[in-house]
Amino acid sequence: MTSHSASADLSTLTVHGWDDAWADAFAPYAAEGLLPGRVVRVDRGQCDVITADGPLRADTAFVTPEDPLRVVCTGDWVAVEPGGTPRYVRAYLPRRTAFVRSTSSKRSEGQILAANVDHAIVAVSLADEVDLGRIERFLALAWESGAAPVVVLSKADLVPDPVTLAHLVQDVETSAPGVPVLPVSAVGGEGVDVLRAVVGSGTSVLLGQSGAGKSTLANVLAGAEVMEVQATRDVDGKGRHTTTTRNLLLLPGGGVLIDTPGLRGVGLWDAGTGVGQVFSEIEELAERCRFHDCAHESEPGCAVREAIDSGDLPERRLDSYRKLLRENQRIVAKTDARARAEIRKESKRRGAVGREAMASKRRGLR
């Protein structure tokens, strides 16, 4: 680091996740006199960055490529100019993990929601019917990101019967193999200590639909009203968008938390590995099928169909697995097609430049 950075108090960075590995990755930028910092919020081409010298506002114009997956994102560690008006982010460090979904547009593009996340907290409100398919979709993206997912069944106080609550937890656990499922009530405090222990180290991101109670959970974990909270609509029980940007919060008990806006659409983005992780029991069963290309329909010796017939595997799980596989294959195909189209376009452009250069050379020889 430069002498300027060395003299600053690095404890601020440390509590936000800075470690020796990040310091090593930042070394080339330190040699240029740049400051390390973590992005806590991005808004309209600018971002709020926490540095050892304190918070600052910086412009992201130097790192705004055409690829939306390479823009500066909440959770990134960045190299910032030590002074100047305006200040600029010069680069971001290679991400350890990245939570990405496909955009709602018809263009085959991904959108990065959070970077360098250790835990992906999927919040599901018990104020409404639990959508297992949507949970599986969130978990596929979470596993693919490289973060460890956790499902939080929020507003558990709305299910006072312990037997009913236990059944709901069991249903979700069946759809989330290997994932902790925590019923939590921000009102009564049930499960909050367990959740606080999960997010007490590393970086966690809160994900879910509007009305899932994410901002309320963020306030409880932060121990203060750091996020605005709105009531759900009485007409249909749907939530309102309270959080409009992704915000990184420092938690008093340790760890940092990224709160995100409610997600209406949760499209997969090249999440084949994540889908396989969510439906690991189906993929394990498929390995025991007689035919390696078994479609799990009416083939003889199909271990998956046998598990469904015996009641060990719900038919709904297989249907959801097939749906997410098809969706992921479509987005991968679109992405590959887009990449091929861009390569062809660039090849044609270079060819045209080359032909023009050759023509100019010939004209000069005449």
Classified as helix, coil or strand, 212 is coil
Query: What residues pair up with 57 in beta bridges, in sequence order?
Result: 48
Contacts of 290 (CB under 8 A, 6+ apart): 299, 300, 301, 302
CA 88 to CA 81: how far, in whole Å? 6
Classified as helix, coil or strand, 4 is helix
Query: Given this model, what pLDDT does residue 229 score?
Result: 54
Query: Given this model, what pLDDT does residue 105 score?
Result: 47
Contact between 286 and 304 (Cβ < 8 Å): yes
Contact between 281 and 269 (Cβ < 8 Å): no
Query: Given this model, what pLDDT does residue 332 score?
Result: 76
**338: its two tokens:** 């887009």
DSSP string, 102-126: E-SSSS--EEEEEES-SEEEEEEET
Going by C-alpha positions, the residue among 336, 281, 333, 245 that lies closest to residue 136 is 281
CA 314 to CA 318: how far, in whole Å? 7
Biggest CA–CA distance in the chain, Å, is: 93
Give, as one character, the DSSP assignment of residue 88.
Answer: B
Going by C-alpha positions, the residue among 153, 253, 260 that lies closest to residue 206 is 260
Contact between 192 and 154 (Cβ < 8 Å): no
Place of tokens 């929020």: 154
Place of tokens 């596989």: 325
Contact between 297 and 305 (Cβ < 8 Å): yes
CA 237 to CA 223: how far, in whole Å? 26
Going by C-alpha positions, the residue among 202, 204, 201 that lies closest to residue 113 is 204
Cis-peptide, bond into residue 162, ω within 30° of zero: no
E-assigned strand segments in 209-318 = 247-250, 256-259
Contacts of 332 (CB under 8 A, 6+ apart): 270, 272
Contact between 51 and 12 (Cβ < 8 Å): yes
CA 343 to CA 358: how far, in whole Å? 22
Give, as one character, the DSSP assignment of residue 297.
Answer: S
Going by C-alpha positions, the residue among 86, 112, 92, 97 that lies closest to residue 37 is 92
pTM: 0.81
Contact between 158 and 186 (Cβ < 8 Å): no
pLDDT in tens, the chain (366 residues): 444 444 346 789 999 999 999 999 999 999 999 999 999 999 888 999 999 989 999 999 888 776 777 889 999 999 999 988 889 999 999 999 998 887 654 555 678 889 999 999 999 999 999 999 999 999 998 998 999 999 999 999 999 999 999 999 999 999 999 999 999 999 889 999 999 999 999 999 999 888 888 889 999 998 877 655 544 433 344 444 444 567 999 999 899 999 987 666 666 667 788 899 999 999 999 999 999 889 998 889 999 999 999 999 999 999 999 999 888 888 777 766 665 565 456 556 656 655 665 666 556 655
Query: Given this model, what pLDDT does residue 246 score?
Result: 78
